[in-house]
Amino acid sequence: MAELTRQELLKLVETTQAADGNERVRRIVGRVVADLFEAIDDLDITPDEFWNGVGWLTRLGASGQTGLITAGLGFDRLLDIREDEKDRRAGLAMGTPRAIEGPLYIPDAPLATAEVRLDDGASARAPVLVMEGRVLDAKGTPLKGAIVDIWHCNEHGRYSHFDPSQKEFELRRRVRVDGNGAYRFRSFLPPGYAIPPNSPTSELFAALGRHGNRPAHIHFLVSAPGAKTLTTQINIPGDAFIHDDFAFATRDSLIVTLETVTDPKGYESLGITGSFTRIQFDFRLQPATATTDQQHLAREARAHA
């Protein structure tokens, strides 16, 4: 092959094909490759730097931490920002703000009706938490048949299915609302946590001079017939990193209020006999405007060391 200039090489990369392929994929890859070619030129990236980067990407994939990097570099929040902007342009009522899902969702958690404990009840962890509220549409009408899918970390900042010390679906449950759209669950106040040390993710953040801490939070995937499926999370107030989340996921309207309840009357079915912390929170879902609005975005499971 004749000697090539940068632009000639890029044109070959973008146009060489043995079959039709996927036009959308071709367009995306062409743009990404063109931007990387430009970055190599503009930043004078050396062969050593390039191959060190390739090696890091290889280790990142093997570690299963790709989802941590996408969150930590802002991509997950960017996708939410774009969806929010799309809703505003369409004139849709905003409802409960969306927030990033993160890499640790597991489908098909055990399903209960009206109320549920997130743990197996074998040992009570403190402080005991009850979160309750309703699932409503944008006008405030209860959404019958709604399901609230809940997951959060344990007291060590680890999630079941990614932590072999925990039982299957520990701190993961789904609850179908009652006829008034109400749900409630018992758990405990989870802590914040940091990205795994001595990992490809921590290497990059050390090089960037950034921390890898997430404030205390609880994840939700809320769905209902005729409504747009909502992925969100609430933040626990008082965490030092609540406005310095490495994943940029904190939203002011998702910072909840904690109440201390001293009378357990009415909560006996959740095994509560003393004082507890309560969060009251209603989820408001937007109306679905397309069939795909009611679907959960399919993702491959990603590990959390």
Render pLDDT for 222-249 as a digit per residue (tens, 0 to 9): 999 999 999 999 999 999 999 999 999 9
Question: Is residue 273 situated within a structural domain?
Answer: yes
Do residues 128 and 163 make contact, with C-beta atoms less than 8 angstroms apart? no
- Spatial distance between the Cα atoms of 183 and 118, rounded to a whole number of angstroms: 13
β-strand pairing of 128-137 with 283-285: parallel
Count of helices and strands (H, E) across the chain: 6, 13
Instruction: Give the single-character DSSP code of 19.
Output: S
* Helix then strand then coil, % of the chain, to nearest 5: 30, 20, 50
Show Cβ contacts of residue 31 under 8 Å, excluding neighbours closer than 6 positions. Answer: none
The tokens describing 265, both together, are: 């009357």
DSSP assignment of 185-236 equals EEEE----EEPPSSSHHHHHHHHHT---EE-SEEEEEEE-TTB--EEEEEE-
113/220 same-domain check: yes
106/229 same-domain check: yes
Question: Is residue 237 situated within a structural domain?
Answer: yes
Residue 233: predicted pLDDT:
98
19/125 same-domain check: no
Residue 304: predicted pLDDT:
40
Assess whether pLDDT exceeds 60 at residue 269.
Answer: yes
What are the pLDDT digits (tens) for 164-213?
999 999 999 999 999 999 999 999 999 999 999 999 999 999 999 999 99
143/282 same-domain check: yes
Question: Is residue 218 situated within a structural domain?
Answer: yes
Do residues 134 and 282 make contact, with C-beta atoms less than 8 angstroms apart? yes
- Spatial distance between the Cα atoms of 170 and 24, rounded to a whole number of angstroms: 40
24/125 same-domain check: no
Question: Is residue 145 situated within a structural domain?
Answer: yes
- Spatial distance between the Cα atoms of 289 and 287, rounded to a whole number of angstroms: 6
Question: Is residue 128 situated within a structural domain?
Answer: yes
Give the global pTM: 0.92
Can you tell me which residue has the tokens 């109320």?
115
Question: Is residue 64 situated within a structural domain?
Answer: no
Question: Is residue 185 situated within a structural domain?
Answer: yes
Domains identified in the chain, total number: 2
Nearest to 144 by CA among 230, 220, 231, 224: 224
- Residue 245: which domain range? 69-294
The tokens describing 259, both together, are: 């109440």
Question: Is residue 150 situated within a structural domain?
Answer: yes
Do residues 176 and 147 make contact, with C-beta atoms less than 8 angstroms apart? yes
122/75 same-domain check: yes
What are the pLDDT digits (tens) for 108-149?
999 999 999 998 776 667 789 999 999 999 999 999 999 999
Give the C-alpha distances (Å, rounded to integers) separating 179 from 32, 135, 176, 270.
49, 11, 10, 19
- DSSP H/E element including 174: strand 172-176
Nearest to 83 by CA among 71, 94, 74, 68: 94
- Spatial distance between the Cα atoms of 221 and 236, rounded to a whole number of angstroms: 18
What are the pLDDT digits (tens) for 60-99?
999 999 999 999 999 999 999 999 999 999 888 779 999 9
